[in-house]
């Protein structure tokens, strides 16, 4: 059996694409769950030392940086970092890999954010490295917030419908382009599907959000809590996409979940 593809390398190539960076740079708002979490954790990040991992086109930078005591944003895509720097020229934004942020000292931050399911761009072993780095970089009592694809979501089996979706337009040219996107998605899916993994704990499968080009990691809330504890972090709360606390997993209604954890 051939070795499984390195999904971190595949995804990094996807996120280096200038067109995708431009697409991400158009996002300017917080998700409802982020508004809830940022309000609930305000005392942890306002006036504090903040690390924002996976900044993409800079969507979260402008919301966190102005009220932070100090702010650093990182992304492993140089194209994304350049896009975010163009959008926020006064901020400290750097190229860096969440699996090994050796440029920062132990306990350097009070608050670490890894939004928009960025942690899902790597495999199971690398995910453990990221969680260990978050634990290392947090001061005791510091807060870690991240989001992840939800393995228990009821819509996970609808990939064919997502792949075949077409938005019709009065313009024949736009309609033709919409049908052409179906072929692009199908091609991307067949390539990314080579990285497919399904175990009792997690799944790796092509993500519809990036036109199926990026294989992403999915897990349930119970497994996320177990992984946090294995990294020496205390799970505090899970939220669904609307910002409602998930008190009794599994949650089947949200495609992604947000987690709030603390370093003891």
Global model pTM greater than 0.85: yes
Q: How far is it, in rounded angstroms, from Cα 160 to Cα 137?
A: 41
| Residue 94, SS3 per DSSP | strand
For the chain, 264 residues long, the average pLDDT of each consecutive 10-residue run is: 72 92 90 98 98 97 97 97 96 98 98 97 97 98 98 86 76 75 84 93 92 94 98 98 94 97 98
Please report the pLDDT score of residue 36 as a whole number.
Answer: 98
Domain ranges in the chain are 7-151+216-262
Domain 7-151+216-262: top CATH class: alpha beta
- Given this model, what pLDDT does residue 4 score? 57
Contacts of range 232-235, beta carbons closer than 8 Å, 24 or more positions apart? 232/132, 232/135, 232/263, 232/264, 233/131, 233/134, 233/135, 233/138, 233/144, 233/261, 233/262, 233/263, 233/264, 234/261, 234/262, 234/263, 234/264, 235/259, 235/260, 235/261
pLDDT at 165: 77
């Amino acid at each position: 059996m051939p070795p499984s593809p390195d999904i971190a390398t595949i995804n990094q190539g996807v996120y280096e694409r200038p067109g995708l960076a431009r697409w991400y740079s158009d996002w300017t708002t917080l998700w409802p769950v982020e508004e809830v979490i940022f309000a609930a954790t305000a005392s942890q990040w306002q006036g504090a030392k903040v690390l924002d991992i996976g900044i993409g086109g800079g969507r979260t930078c402008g919301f966190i940086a102005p009220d932070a005591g100090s702010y650093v944003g990182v992304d492993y895509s140089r194209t994304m970092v350049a896009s975010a720097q163009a959008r926020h020229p006064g901020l400290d934004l750097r190229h860096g890999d969440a699996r090994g942020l050796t440029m920062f000292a132990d306990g350097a931050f009070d608050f670490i954010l890894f939004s928009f399911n960025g942690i899902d761009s790597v495999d199971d072993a690398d995910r453990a490295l990221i969680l260990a780095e978050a634990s290392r970089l947090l001061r005791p009592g510091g807060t870690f917030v991240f989001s992840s694809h939800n393995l228990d979501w009821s819509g996970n089996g609808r990939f064919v419908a997502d792949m075949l979706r077409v938005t019709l337009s009065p313009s024949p040219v736009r309609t033709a382009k919409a049908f052409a996107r179906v072929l692009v998605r199908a091609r991307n899916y067949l390539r990314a599907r080579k990285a497919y993994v399904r175990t009792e704990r997690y799944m790796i499968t092509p993500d519809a959000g990036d036109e199926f080009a990026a294989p992403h990691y999915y897990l349930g809330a119970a497994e996320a809590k177990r992984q946090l504890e294995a990294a020496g972090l205390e799970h505090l709360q899970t939220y669904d996409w609307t910002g409602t606390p998930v008190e009794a997993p599994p949650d089947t209604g949200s495609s992604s979940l947000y987690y709030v954890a603390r370093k003891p």
